[in-house]
Structure 1
Amino acid sequence: MSKKEVGNNQKNFKRFFNILKERVKISEFTTYSIVVAYYLLLSLFPLLITVGNILPFLSIDPNSILPYIQEIMPSTIYQFLGPAIEDLLTQSSGGLLSISAITTIWSASKSINALQKAMNKSLGVEQRAGVVARILSVLVLILFLFVMVALSLIIGAGQVLLDAIQPIFQIPESFVNIFQTVKWPLTFVALFVLMAIIYWMIPNAKMKIRSILPGSVFATVGWLLLSQVFGLYARYFATTVSGYQIIGSFVVLMLWLNFAAMIIILGSVLNASMEEFYNGELKGNS
């Protein structure tokens, strides 16, 4: 590589770093992540109730979702909340469905609205009108539910189908075992699709599909790493508040949601920085 090319690469890196630094500054990601985490916490349990009531209609075992929730959540948090999550997913009730659906829509739309404001700030575009923003929040929530249910359907129905046809077609046991050990790849794919939907739909900006890929990968890897790294912190934190395990677990859960929201917002910042670096200033949707 010539000295000229090295010099150009250094200039490009410095230019991208300056763009990224400015985008991080204007995004106010620390402030908005707190708001997003608060409303995510409010919507978490009603969302589980809603999903738990929908799955039986699709003949899906609610327990098929649990391994994927366990992969996403830090182990200490899941150890405490796992039984409650299992109960919410497996005990269906028509009355609870209507109440939980309303609560989920309200709190999740608030969370998505805060996320939209943070993304629009990082992208340097105007906020959507209130009614449009609310409708969009509901659509994103529906897509989120669809991704969760689709993942459960693929795993649940796929396993049942394999068990049924294995003796007929003499499918090797090793293939069945491989199918049973794809939690990480499928969790990664499901999270990546969800992040791509978020970055494509929520901001009020004209974003090409390729422009949202860096942030989607960053957020997906960030979430999975956060669950592993944060588990170490959570285990240490749990030992210091052993006398207040319920309070301590919810504090840890709130911190985890806060960091998770930060990762999503920073993914949007990365998308905005890449878009500006290659294509110039972003334009908002008319």
Structure 2
Amino acid sequence: MKNVHAKERLTKKNLLNITFHVWRQFDDPYYTGFAAQIAYFFFMASMPTLIVLSQVLGLFDVSLDFIKVWLETHVSSNVNSLVMDLFSATSVQFTNTVMVIVALWSASSLEFSLGRLESHVLTNGTYRFEFWTERMKAIPTAIISIAAIAFSLAIYVYGENIIQTIFRHSRFTEYLVALRLPIAAGLFFLMILMNYYLLPRIKVPIRCLLPGALFAWIGIMIVTAVYSVYSDKIAHYNILYGTFANIVALMLWFYLISWVLCIGMMFNKAWDEVMKRDRLTLTKMRGYLKAQLKGSSQSYENFFVRPDDLLYPELDSVAVKMSKRYVDGFEKEIEKKQQEIRRKQIIDAKADELYTEMKQNIERRDRGFLDE
């Protein structure tokens, strides 16, 4: 069946509508301070990520010195100074497997936070959060992200040697060498898209995530460039923050990048609605989840918050179960709320029945007038 709505084209009017759609999403208090939270996880995950990344880069025989040179060229001096200190702190041999696993767990905290945010955006805040399920899911995503970064760096560092070995010296070789940076940028875009796809609990078609991933990709590059100029030419963090100036500079950079990633997620939802793609509606989200759980014993309804959740003890969190067991009067309070929910369900059912009966009477009356 064809969609009754024709797809919209990107016009100035629709672009304005998308902008205001994203803005309206911030009316949800869930987003208050979320960019700051992600920036904090960015900062906390930076050191563990560097530790794991140094181990992975060792497989490609790529030195962290390359990243230092890149930072000196593209990032502000304040940010570069602090990150260089992190590199010098991780320059020692770090081959303890247990510690690498611990570092990987810490590095995955960023993906965990981003995954919660995207699940909230895609389902309009109706999805059911499960800490351990989502926390464990963030670890393989972190591994893939770190491996993608390492692979991109390996291509950028050794790409020229590989290309010249395969194609020898020719004009075509020069073109391929010149494309190393665009290839690295393309891999960075794919990494953003991969995170947008893998992190939420409900898998949606990749094409639904392309607008937001493109927005985030361009936005991060613009923010980094503008912030680099701002922090070098205008900002004087050392006057206000003294020895903490570099940390403040790095946190602000992470904060701006976090905003771009958050808005990129919202952009996907806004694009789908304004451009009438109808791929990220709640009905479609439930359909994607049904297909995802096909053959599983899990009920797709249990992935969403419902008004009658209290009527299903199997949906209780560990905190609620323990409260029922150890907190005096808590279980009676829950039973009282359950009775209120049941009464409301009865009232709503009667209201629906009366409405249906009234609608049928009106239809019969109209048919009587037509017969006369």
Answer yes or no: is the 8 Å Cα contact 1:29–1:266 preserved in 2. Answer: no
> What is the deviation of 1:33?
1.1
What is the identity percentage for the equivalent residue pairs of Structure 1 and Structure 2? 17
1:4 matched residue in structure 2: none
- Listed as ranges, the matches of 1:1-286 within 5 Å are 16=18, 19-26=21-28, 28-66=30-68, 74-81=75-82, 83-87=84-88, 90-95=91-96, 98-106=98-106, 108-123=107-122, 124=124, 125-162=126-163, 169-171=168-170, 175-176=173-174, 179=177, 182-183=180-181, 185-236=182-233, 239=236, 241=238, 246-277=243-274, 278=276, 279=278, 281-282=281-282, 283=285, 285=289, 286=300
Gaps of 5+ in 2: 1-10, 290-299, 301-372
- 2:42 aligned partner, one-letter code: L
The alignment covers a number of residue pairs equal to 271
> What is the deviation of 1:177?
8.2
Answer yes or no: is the 8 Å Cα contact 2:52–2:103 preserved in 1. Answer: no
Counterparts of 1:13 and 1:238, CA distance in 2: 32
- 1:177-214 deviations in whole A, cap 9, x for unaligned? 8626743x234212211110111112234422111011
> What is the deviation of 1:37?
1.0
> What is the deviation of 1:66?
4.4
- 1:133 aligned partner, one-letter code: E
- 2:105 aligned partner, one-letter code: I
Query: Structure 1 residues 135 and 54, CA, compared in 2 at 3 Å: closer, same or farther?
Result: same
Answer yes or no: is the 8 Å Cα contact 2:51–2:100 preserved in 1. Answer: yes
Query: Structure 1 residues 27 and 224, CA, compared in 2 at 3 Å: closer, same or farther?
Result: farther
Query: Structure 1 residues 217 and 132, CA, compared in 2 at 3 Å: closer, same or farther?
Result: same
Per the alignment, in what secondary structure is the counterpart of residue 62 of structure 2?
Answer: coil
Counterparts of 1:243 and 1:202, CA distance in 2: 38
- 2:191 aligned partner, one-letter code: L
Answer yes or no: is the 8 Å Cα contact 1:215–1:270 preserved in 2. Answer: yes
Query: Structure 1 residues 244 and 187, CA, compared in 2 at 3 Å: closer, same or farther?
Result: farther
Answer yes or no: is the 8 Å Cα contact 2:211–2:267 preserved in 1. Answer: yes
> What is the deviation of 1:161?
2.7
Counterparts of 1:37 and 1:64, CA distance in 2: 25
Answer yes or no: is the 8 Å Cα contact 1:49–1:100 preserved in 2. Answer: yes
- 1:59 aligned partner, one-letter code: D
Counterparts of 1:267 and 1:137, CA distance in 2: 19
Query: Structure 1 residues 163 and 98, CA, compared in 2 at 3 Å: closer, same or farther?
Result: farther
2:363 matched residue in structure 1: none
- 1:139 aligned partner, one-letter code: P
Answer yes or no: is the 8 Å Cα contact 2:50–2:87 preserved in 1. Answer: no
TM-score by structure 2 length? 0.63
> What is the deviation of 1:87?
3.1
Per the alignment, in what secondary structure is the counterpart of residue 207 of structure 1?
Answer: coil
Per the alignment, in what secondary structure is the counterpart of residue 92 of structure 1?
Answer: coil
Per the alignment, in what secondary structure is the counterpart of residue 152 of structure 2?
Answer: helix
Gaps of 5+ in 1: 1-8
- 1:96-128 deviations in whole A, cap 9, x for unaligned? x6425413413x333333222322332214144
Structure 1 or 2: more helix by fraction? 1
Q: Which has the higher contact order (CA 8 A, sep 6+)?
A: 1
TM-score by structure 1 length? 0.79
Counterparts of 1:83 and 1:18, CA distance in 2: 40
> What is the deviation of 1:147?
0.6
Structure whose alpha-carbon radius of gyration is higher: 2
Answer yes or no: is the 8 Å Cα contact 1:218–1:267 preserved in 2. Answer: yes
For the aligned residue pairs, the C-alpha RMSD in angstroms reads 3.2
